[in-house]
Amino acid sequence: MERRTSPPRGLISRSVLAAALFAASVVPGWTLGGLAERWTGSAVLNWLITLGWSAAAIQVLAPSASYRRRDAWMGFVPLLGWYVLCVLAWRVALWPYRDWDPRDDELWRARWLTGDLMGLWVCR
């Protein structure tokens, strides 16, 4: 029995989904950090909450996008964390397909697609 899968998302729908994922990953941290700064007056606490939220979002999204959970430390580096979140959101927006090569430890469960979906991977 052959599995039926939906075609990959187009550029517009993937972009909208990636932007929504990025916003959902970053905006709550900004909001909580801003509230904490307003309550305490500490800009350092604002940064810690904002960057901690980014690190938590990276930890949640990482396994679905060929990153490791331990890569969440990048969320604590201000611009690097937001860049990594952009990459993760872009990759996760194409799920279940992948347009990047899987890591070496993911190859056992990855399958290279042919036919109309040539150039994409699927991981089980």
Higher pLDDT, 4 or 89: 89
Query: Residue 105 pLDDT > 60, yes or no?
Result: yes
Burial class (CB in 10 A: 0-12, 13-18, 19+), 46: buried
Indicate yes or no: pTM above 0.85. no
Q: Are 119 and 100 in contact (CB under 8 A)?
A: no
Tens of pLDDT, residue by residue over 11-42, are 788 789 899 999 998 999 999 999 999 999 88
Query: Residue 109 pLDDT > 90, yes or no?
Result: no
At 117 the pLDDT is 60
Q: How many CB atoms within 10 Å of residue 122? A: 17
Tens of pLDDT, residue by residue over 73-104, are 888 888 888 999 998 898 888 777 666 666 66
